[in-house]
Amino acid sequence: MDFYFICYTIVGICFGCAGTIHLSTQDYRRSQLTVFWLNASPAAEGILLAACIAPVLALITSLIQGGFWVIATFFELALGAIIARFLIPQFLLNILALVSPLILIVTFGALWGFWYI
């Protein structure tokens, strides 16, 4: 159970980072905090899109593997998003969002049984 809690919370943190950065790019007062994301390059958009699709994949994975445990997965994802929004500073959000594709590949690979971490 601890493995799933940690994995889904990490996915929620990646989602929270992407959501916070997306909101920061739309607010001109906070735009200086997200310099990399302002130019709207395809790489930046792809990173944010991957991090925003990840919770949906996590819920589908949990539904297939555990049935009603999908409710707990939803709360674990929400906990990760809350942690990212309120406890992680902005400069670290940028770094986490940049490496989130690698984090998500490793996490989903372990959840889907491709490898063990």
Kindly report, residue by residue over 29-79, the tens digit of the pLDDT. Answer: 666 666 666 667 788 888 888 999 999 999 999 999 988 899 999 999 999
For residue 84, what pLDDT is reported? 92
For residue 25, what pLDDT is reported? 75
pTM here is 0.88
For residue 117, what pLDDT is reported? 72
**Residue 66: enclosing H or E segment and its boundaries?**
helix 42-66
CB burial of 49-81 (b: ≥16 within 10 Å; e: otherwise) equals ebbeebbeebbebbeeeeeeebeebbebbbbbb
pLDDT level of residue 9 (50, 70, 90 thresholds): very high
Q: How far is CA 93 from the centre of its chain?
A: 11
For residue 34, what pLDDT is reported? 66
| Other CB atoms within 10 A of residue 33 CB | 17
